[in-house]
Amino acid sequence: MKKLLIPALLSALIVGCSSTPVDETSGAPVESRNGSSGVASVTAGGLDSRGLPRELTDPKSQLSQRSIYFDLDKYDVKPEYQDLVAAHAKYLVTNRGFKVLIQGNTDERGSREYNLSLGQKRADAVKRSLVMLGAKEEQVESVSLGEEKPKNPGHDESAWAENRRADILYRAPDGRGEF
């Protein structure tokens, strides 16, 4: 009896785990506007080369601004960047399938360990702000790059100011995007 029961249970398990085929002719998701509410939603067409909606990459859109800059040895989001963070949070609230990776960066001064820690604090500060403004915790990941990915390779105050930042990278629901 046991010899018949185990194969029957395995067969039932395999049949129960089968999936429905995905319709790949429907196209990639993109954002459009609902005229009455102004709430963004995902529809087909209008993607950039990375598979992101043009609203995220159009230089005229606030959402194309992806860097939040910090003062030396600081990791609090400055008042002049709070509207930018709020705009990204609103986009994530409206488009729950999208995810972001926040990369914390520092200038070249300081030890490697200090810079990795400070970069993480900067990324976490932006993540906390996004989540407080309504983004889901699972939509936002934060990592530190420390001094490893400078925006400006110079060795003066203006270069260092460009490198003290957190960058927001997007991934669309279909897995395409910046990370």
Element (H or E) spanning 141, and its range?
Answer: strand 140-146
pTM here is: 0.75
User: Which residue positions in the chain have pLDDT lower than 50?
Assistant: 13, 15, 17-45
Helix, strand, coil percentages (3-state) for the chain, rounded to 5, are 40, 20, 40
Q: Which residues contact 139 (CB under 8 A, 6 or more apart)?
A: 92, 96, 98, 99, 100, 130
Going from N- to C-terminal start, the domains of the chain cover 47-171
Q: Is the dihedral of CA 155, 105, 95, 98 positive or negative?
A: positive
Return d(Cα 126, Cα 151) in angstroms, integer.
18
Q: Which residues contact 168 (CB under 8 A, 6 or more apart)?
A: 66, 67, 68, 88, 100, 101, 102, 126
pLDDT of residue 145: 98
Assign domain 47-171 to a CATH class: alpha beta
